[in-house]
Amino acid sequence: MTTPVRLGVNLDHVATLRNARGVDYPDPIRAARLVMEAGADGITLHLREDRRHIRDADLEQARALAIPLNMEMAATAEMVRIACALRPHACCLVPERRAEVTTEGGLDVAGQRAALGPVVTALRDAGIRVSLFVDPDPAQLDAAAGLGAPVVELHTGAYANGRAGELARLVEGARHAAGLGLEVHAGHGLTYENVGPMMALPALRELNIGHALVAEAVFCGLVESVRRMRAVMDAGQRRGGAG
Ligand code: PXP
């Protein structure tokens, strides 16, 4: 029997909705409990430098729940300090620009080895599983393995935007990463419609999905939106990613 690919649910946009009114609802922690009930394997929260959605208190409350917590963060001294104190199950390092609407590209691990190396080491020393969010580029994957990161998350944004050749690039990237001994995750811009072919990525262990799930929850509720994604992923895995 094949092991199901894990589903991590990114809850940033529950906090976006809350912060739009400066009130205390909808509560990302209530959402965290519901997505786990619906079959998610963990949650992801991105603590941005400008705190535009997730806040420090959200992370602390999420950490208190007995569920796998993936903290998405930029490789800054402030974030490393917070992560090492919080000790989430995992940290995913992402590039971050203040003006961007969402994480637009992968980390330039090859170009930033000197800056990223100590961050990976500090997080690993704190017992945190570190992943690097990268484009499916062999040079970036080689650099990630060279820094001792155990996991890479492949950026699926270009695929989700329909760019020609991206599925093949992701398949090759996943194969390359697995060959380096890296655990393969993927995410960004995934929806019910485009997630199926992701199940063909060699050695894929986890998908991280947020915006589409929170958006669909407006119509059918969070439990149903996550259950449906779980079912689409499972069906895709049974078909080996075809169609
Ligand atoms: N993985 C990473 C590293 C991300 O930055 C994001 C977006 O915050 C996601 C996954 C989820 O992307 P989306 O919200 O488009 O599903």
| Domains within the chain, CATH numbers bracketed | 6-238 (3.20.20.70)
pLDDT at 140: 98
Residue nearest atom 4 of ligand 1, based on CA coordinates:
188
Residue 119: burial class (beta carbons within 10 Å; 0-12, 13-18, 19+):
buried
State pTM to two decimals: 0.96
Q: Which residues line ligand 1 (CB under 6 A)?
A: 10, 12, 46, 72, 92, 94, 102-103, 133, 153, 187-190, 208-212
pLDDT at 1: 62
46 given a catalytic annotation = yes
Round to whole Å and give the CA distance between 177 and 174: 5
CA of 147 relative to ligand 1 center, distance in Å: 23
CA of 151 relative to ligand 1 center, distance in Å: 16
Where the chain has pLDDT below 50, the residues are none
Q: How many CA atoms lie within 13 A of 171 on its CB side?
A: 11
pLDDT at 97: 76
CA of 180 relative to ligand 1 center, distance in Å: 24
72 given a catalytic annotation = yes
pLDDT at 96: 84
Which residue in the block uniquely carries the two structure tokens 């075809």? Answer: 242
Q: Of ligand 1's atoms, which has the minimum distance to the CA of residue 133?
A: 3
pLDDT at 196: 97
Interacting residues of 10 by C-beta distance below 8 A, sequence separation 6+: 43, 44, 45, 46, 72, 187, 208, 209, 210, 211, 213
Of residues 53, 72, 155, 166, which has the active-site annotation?
72
Q: What's the sign of the alpha-carbon dihedral 215, 220, 222, 227?
A: negative
**Residues in a beta bridge with 103:** none
Q: Of ligand 1's atoms, which has the minimum distance to the CA of residue 211?
A: 14
Q: Of ligand 1's atoms, which has the minimum distance to the CA of residue 157?
A: 15
